[in-house]
Amino acid sequence: MTHLDIIRLRKLDPKVVALGSHRGIIQSMLDFDYLAGRKSPSVTAIVASGRRSERYFFGPKEVMIPAYNTLPELPESARKAANLFVNLSSGRRVLRSSREAMDQLPGLVGGVIFAEGFPEKHAIELYREADARGIWIIGGASVGIVVPGVVKLGAIGGTQALQLEQSRLFNPGSIAVVSSSGGMVNEVIRTVATTGHSLSFSLALGGERFPVLTPEDAFLAAQADDQTKAIAYFGELGGDDEYVLVDLLKDGRITKPVVCYIAGTVADLFDTPPQFGHAKAMAKTDDESARAKAAALNAAGAKAAPTYQDFVDSIAALTFKTKLPDPEPQAAKLSARKPALISSTVSGDRGDEVYLVGTELLDLASNNSFAHIVISMFLGHRTKSRELDEFVDFVLRLLVDHGPYVSGAVNTIVSARAGKDLVSSLASGLLTIGPRFGGAINQAAATWLEGVERGISPAQLVEERARVRSYILGIGHRKYRSDLPDPRVAKLLEFKSSLKDARFTNFAQGVETETTRKKGNLILNVDGAIAALMLDLLSEKEGYDTARLRALVDAEFFNGVFVLSRSVGFMAHYFDQSRLDEGMFRLTPGQVAHIDNEHTGF
């Protein structure tokens, strides 16, 4: 019994994961979605090394499709929602990546393998594994499957929007088109359209000798589909696919009309059998010749045309033509699309109005706090939790300045006294931000995230870092100790009361318990507390999983609030020096230590 259920597929809300990247194929799938009236792309994720997203058109507008290096990196929600895959990776990677898709995507229904050169041994293994799981897989070397108005999985039907429209792929009909050949399945689809019919569905088995979805599976899927009234089949010399259809017709398992054409009669003119385009397209015996297959099909009750023109006439003669009007042409409107030079999820304009994170600027500014606008723009979307907004507001106020003696303030002051302008002086101060000054928040976040991700205890983390003599950023203070706690940290930790789990903050405090046993001043400091609480708020209140948190760490997101807040302090020092007007800053010889190289080893 075939697992390919067209009736079920027709009711599916397709959520496709692309294994590998192929711009033409993916764009054609999105064009199909748009022209079919979908509100969002069916392709929800791309698994390919490189970028974190890929830019495509959805109708006239550009969209970003998330990209991941591996399937396990997909957010849990995306993995659970996925129900189809299109495998665009190379032939040698198909078995591994398809297996991984079956393991990682619990809602998987089926998939398509595009690659040629897919080893026969791998195809047989994949068939058995997919069959055991109740999943259908089409290919290798397949252009895919299309159900008009519902889903296009692969390059089937063409890769240009105009081709899709001209093939009437948005007007459901009654004829199922099946072939091993990708090029010819597209040709037959167009033939169906030009004769006034429309498809019920179409699929290309693929040109490899052993396709994962067998010809029997495909024919029986057409028989079981109540919308399919007839089957149009394009075959070739070589192999035994047509005899599978002959047996199904003789056994009464296929009762619907079958019109077909078997290509390759020209091979009879050669002394030795020629190899045609596909792996199995060579007649090694008389039974595998195109003429013998056509005769067997005619004897079994199919209508096997002697020429392709006769095949076209047979399709045209089918009496059940689509009565629904064709949709209004739209594809031509998509032909002039050009990709933008810059993509942004932060801001844009619609007509004369500026929008920030999807909201009109004046509305956003009038009804929200500065902290909400800041964190929403940093994240690229509107936040939904009041607790996160309030935390960011407090952090922005807390970090605004830390005296005139820290490196950033000193650089700003020195530049201002040298007569530099505001922007230059501010830049001078900002350039000192790094691991030793201001940059510890992000590294602390990386540490807490790593510890929780790995499932290790705080004690294990401390021991690992001690073994390699590596500092734990976010831990330690020059002034405050366990018996003289930092009041700023205590105030920050009040935000923990709004959290249910607080796994990152609990982990950070667990590390503090271990480190203060060694030395009293190795306490959780402001950087470490901000990092831990921010991770928890993003996780619990905004629904960020560890993969998205890791992406924020990689982008130095957690240092952003420090940079923004401290910029205020640096500018304040610039204005202060302008008011004081003390002139050029100079050090006297007594203020600079002279080091004797002879005694230092330098």
Residues with catalytic roles: 278
CA-wise closest residue to 212 among 203, 222, 200, 202: 203
Residue 274 vs residues 181, 262, 281, 284, 308: alpha-carbon distances, Å: 17, 16, 9, 9, 20
Residue 175: phi and psi, rounded to 5, are: -110, 125
- CB within 8 Å of 299: residues ≥ 6 apart: 246
Residue 351, preceding peptide bond in cis (omega within 30° of 0) = no
Query: Tokens in use for 595?
Result: 């080091």
- For residue 77, the tally of other CB atoms under 10 A from its CB is 11
Largest CA distance in the chain: 109
The packing angle between helices 407-417 and 560-580, to 10°, is 40
Q: Taking a C-beta distance cutoff of 8 angstroms, is the pair 529, 493 a contact?
A: yes
Query: Would you give the DSSP letter of residue 429?
Result: H
Query: Tokens in use for 76?
Result: 């849990």
- For residue 313, the tally of other CB atoms under 10 A from its CB is 13
Place of tokens 């007569």: 419
Taking the C-alpha atoms of residue 500 and residue 264, their distance in angstroms, rounded to an integer, is: 70
| Pairing label, strands 43-47, 16-19 | parallel
230-236 sheet: strands from edge to edge: 151-153, 144-147, 199-204, 175-179, 230-236, 258-263, 303-305
Counting Cα atoms < 13 Å in the Cβ hemisphere of 556 gives: 11
Q: Cα 530 to the chain's mean position, in Å?
A: 30
Q: Taking a C-beta distance cutoff of 8 angstroms, is the pair 540, 500 a contact?
A: yes
Counting Cα atoms < 13 Å in the Cβ hemisphere of 77 gives: 7
Q: Taking a C-beta distance cutoff of 8 angstroms, is the pair 168, 142 a contact?
A: no
- CB within 8 Å of 489: residues ≥ 6 apart: 480, 523, 524, 525, 526, 529
* Residues paired with residue 64 on neighbouring β-strands, in sequence order: 55
What is the sign, positive or negative, of the torsion defined by CA atoms of 492, 498, 502, 504?
Answer: negative
Q: Cα 43 to the chain's mean position, in Å?
A: 8
Residue 481: phi and psi, rounded to 5, are: -135, 175
Q: Can you give the length of the chain in residues?
A: 602
Query: Tokens in use for 476?
Result: 């330690």
Q: Taking a C-beta distance cutoff of 8 angstroms, is the pair 107, 58 a contact?
A: no
